[in-house]
Amino acid sequence: MRIAMIGGGYVGLVSGTCFAEFGTDVAIVETNPDRLAALREGRIPIYEPGLDRLVAENVEAGRLTFGDDMAAAVKGADAVFVAVGTPSRRGDGQADTSYVYAAVEQVARVAEGYTLIVTKSTVPVGTGREIAKIVHATRPDLDFDVASNPEFLREGNAIVDFMKPDRVIIGTDQSKPGGTERAQNILRKLYRPLYLLERPIVFTGLETAELIKYAANSFLAMKITFINEISDLCEKVGADVNDVARSIGLDGRIGKKFLHPSPGFGGSCFPKDTRALTAIGRNAGSPVRLIETTVAVNELRMKAMGERVIALAGGDVKGLTIGVLGLTFKPETDDMREAASIVVLDQLDKAGAQIRAFDPAGMETARPVLPQGVTYCKDALDAATGADILVVLTEWNEFRSLSPEKLKTRMTGRKVADLRNIWDPESLKEAGFDYISLGRPDMVHTA
């Protein structure tokens, strides 16, 4: 089998490489010259554990190539996957499908013979049908089908998520005679290794597949937002959110995953996909009010986090040094898209604090999106040096083992805002810190 993968970003690169690992020949088409140059030189432009080795092995085996020649990649491909970005459109929050449509038009222009176009990008309901119209308008002579195969990988765990997915969704145009069979047969062959692993493969219609992706991401975002609100409630009534989350999660109907309180969900997908689902609902005359609320609560939450740090300082951080541990939207990624740190550091900077920050992978991606005045430190202890307050924004494992005693040797002040609950409140209090976290009683020394 041979496929073309249009877009060599997170999804295109990971899924293209994993298909190659399954034994398929994969041509990744990437238009960003820097990204393409990096890939051709064997450098991985994103931080994803294990990806460098997998890419190198498949390039070496001759199954994985990178280029910008659309015609060469599409020629003879059994399927053409589209994995370009679908960012939020400014203003109305709808997904911007212009990159998808542009890519599809390029594919249509150069395609020879039967072509199966598969959307791997997260696309609004109706995009598959619009793609069919564009292809038909561009090349009325072309024999083609459109399928939807949304991707559920998580950054930081992307290879395992792709190779051992909870499910694979394949949506085809059930109204087109013969289209479904042709598309399903090709995709069945491509995903054969997952059949053998007995991973569930769901065959459905185009619109359903497109909606499944938004419903899944929005449900998870709503679950996080739920525990974040319960966390706030715990603080007011003296309950412990860790025990609440664990206990409700033990009910198999609820499940224990995605119940960790946080400064708000971020990343390249949950924020934009929840906004997009609300737009899809509004446009269809069927508002998804739970998700509209999820979006609003999450935005307010990020702002509330900066205010908490300022309150811990006694209402004023002007001239204070604040050490920040973790900048990326979650650990094991260098991705800064819609990270809570952007909102929180902006507030602290505007309030006059001196910020010393460290992130194990995100220092370079953080620089362009964080305030100019931020000092980037060489490690966590360097960020804590001279700090009046220490703030944890991302729960990288290496921060968990920092002992309070060690922090005391570096920090000037004795205040910690742990916005990921990585430390034990009692030990911080015993070490003399004023310690606040999420959904657990504050450990603040009274004068």
Residue closer to ligand NAD, measured from CB, 85 or 326: 85
Question: Total residues at the site for ligand NAD (CB under 6 A)?
Answer: 27
Stretch that binds ligand NAD, among 2-10, 50-58, 171-179, 420-428 (CB under 6 A): 2-10
Contact residues for 88 (Cβ-Cβ < 8 A; gap 6+): 94, 95, 96, 271, 272, 275, 276
Q: Which of 18, 234, 269, 377 is catalytic?
A: 269
Q: Is 385 in the site for ligand NAD (CB under 6 A)?
A: no
> Are the beta carbons of 328 and 362 closer than 8 angstroms?
yes
**Per-residue interface string for the shown chain with ligand UGA, residues 262-301, x marking contact by CB under 6 A:** x--xxxxxx-------------------------------
Q: Tell me the closest approach of the beta carbon of residue 339 to ligand UGA, in angstroms.
A: 7
In the list 3, 4, 10, 275, the residue contacting ligand NAD (rule: CB under 6 A) is 10
Residue closer to ligand UGA, measured from CB, 249 or 371: 249
Q: Using CB distances below 5 to 8 A depending on partner kind, what does residue 224 bind out of ligand UGA, ligand NAD, none?
A: ligand UGA
Question: d(Cα 93, Cα 215) in Å, to the nearest integer?
Answer: 16
243 to each of 82, 274, 443, how far by Cα in Å? 43, 28, 17
Q: Is 155 in the site for ligand UGA (CB under 6 A)?
A: yes
Q: Is 333 annotated as a binding residue?
A: no
Residue closer to ligand NAD, measured from CB, 11 or 353: 11
What is the secondary structure of 259-284 as a DSSP string? ----S---SSSHHHHHHHHHHHHHHT
326 to each of 13, 332, 357, 397, how far by Cα in Å? 25, 11, 7, 10
349 to each of 224, 354, 381, 436, how far by Cα in Å? 27, 7, 21, 20
Question: In the window 68-107, what residues touch ligand NAD (CB under 6 A)?
Answer: 83-86, 99, 102-103, 106
Q: Is 226 in the site for ligand UGA (CB under 6 A)?
A: no
Question: d(Cα 81, Cα 149) in Å, to the nearest integer?
Answer: 9
Q: Is 188 in the site for ligand UGA (CB under 6 A)?
A: no
Q: Using CB distances below 5 to 8 A depending on partner kind, what does residue 260 bind out of ligand UGA, ligand NAD, none?
A: ligand UGA
DSSP code for 440: S
Q: Is 40 annotated as a binding residue?
A: no
Question: d(Cα 307, Cα 394) in Å, to the nearest integer?
Answer: 18
| Helix ranges (DSSP H) in 238-339 | 241-249, 270-283, 289-312
Phi and psi at residue 47, in whole multiples of 5°? Answer: -95, 110
Q: Is 258 in the site for ligand NAD (CB under 6 A)?
A: no
Measured from each CB, the residue nearest to ligand NAD is 9
Give the count of alpha carbons within 13 A of 365, CB side only: 21
Q: Is 35 annotated as a binding residue?
A: yes
Q: Is 31 in the site for ligand NAD (CB under 6 A)?
A: yes
Question: d(Cα 420, Cα 437) in Å, to the nearest integer?
Answer: 7
Q: Tell me the closest approach of the beta carbon of residue 135 to ligand NAD, in angstroms.
A: 14
Tell me if residue 269 is catalytic: yes
> Are the beta carbons of 189 and 1 closer than 8 angstroms?
yes
Q: Using CB distances below 5 to 8 A depending on partner kind, what does residue 9 bind out of ligand NAD, ligand UGA, none?
A: ligand NAD
Question: In the window 105-164, what residues touch ligand NAD (CB under 6 A)?
Answer: 106, 121-122, 151, 153, 155
Partner residues linked to 5 by β-bridges: 28, 81
**Per-residue interface string for the shown chain with ligand UGA, residues 64-103, x marking contact by CB under 6 A:** ----------------------------------------
> Are the beta carbons of 206 and 127 closer than 8 angstroms?
no
* 195 alpha carbon, distance to own chain's centre: 26
Instruction: Point out which residues bind ligand NAD (CB under 6 A).
Output: 6-12, 29-32, 35, 83-86, 99, 102-103, 106, 121-122, 151, 153, 155, 268-269
Annotated binding site for substrate: 152-155, 213, 258-262, 266, 330
Positions marked catalytic: 269
Applying CB under 6 A, the residues found at the interface with ligand UGA are 122, 151-155, 217, 220, 224, 258-260, 262, 265-270, 329-330
